[in-house]
Amino acid sequence: MSYLILIRHGQSEWNLENRFTGWVDVDLTQNGKLEAEKAGYLIKKTNIKIDYYYSSFQLRANHTLKIIQQILNDEKKFLKAWELNERHYGVLTGLNKIEMGQKLGEEKVLQFRRSWNLRPDPLDKKSKFHPLNIDTYKNIPIEKIPDTESLKDTYERVVNYYLLEIKNKIEKGNILISAHGNSIRALCKYLLNINEDQISKLEIPTGNPLLLDIDENQKIHSCKYLDQDRSKDLLVF
């Protein structure tokens, strides 16, 4: 029996401002750091020894993981994978969600945010928010960098990486992945067999570790948030 812990980064600066963040590389707020600390203590209480750590390329996920490791007194190096990055929101990147709701209508914005295969229009490659113009991504092959993504696109890159690089590690030890709302949503869809209609309803709270108990046959026996006061409906458990 092994454990997989999924955690969405603590509150980021653009979460606070209610902006579409995507691949823009913003840091945690003070509250986000506190969320990460609490997550670390919740994980510590489980007495689960983490054997492998993974994060996206993005600062907010990296910072969250570093804070958790400090609480766990664990200095293992973690592997960064751009495939675990947040979904790219195209032209919506940087815009305020409430203002966009007033302009386009709440239903249309919700479609952009949660529909399975709808992509916002591509972000101009000259935009300062485009990944091509952000140093964090300078070593990613240009052909791999998106201008926009649907949740389906995000699912494909996240799950492909999981199958190639992470799945076989579960047989060898316990894993913690620090990532983002949509990359974790994608993993949950795969791991919990959530259908395309249900996945749009799945909420992933910031800074709340999701603990999955997995057997040698990769079957999930239980799935729960460690902070029950901030728990969200997992739809199937």
Residues with active-site annotation? 9, 86
Taking the C-alpha atoms of residue 75 and residue 104, their distance in angstroms, rounded to an integer, is 47
Cβ distance 214 to 2 under 8 Å? yes
Exposure letters 15-45 (e unless 16+ CB within 10 A, then b): beeebbbbbbbbbbbeebbebbbbbbebbee
Taking the C-alpha atoms of residue 190 and residue 151, their distance in angstroms, rounded to an integer, is 13
Q: Determine the 3-state secondary structure of 8 from DSSP.
A: strand
Residue 113 corresponds to which tokens in the numbers above? 């945010």
- Is residue 233 exposed (0-12), middle (13-18) or buried (19+ Cβ within 10 Å)? exposed
Query: 96 pairs with which residues across the strands?
Result: 19
Taking the C-alpha atoms of residue 207 and residue 130, their distance in angstroms, rounded to an integer, is 26
Using DSSP bridges, classify how beta strands 2-8 and 210-214 pair: parallel, antiparallel or unpaired. antiparallel
Angle at 32 between CA 30 and CA 35, to 5 degrees: 115
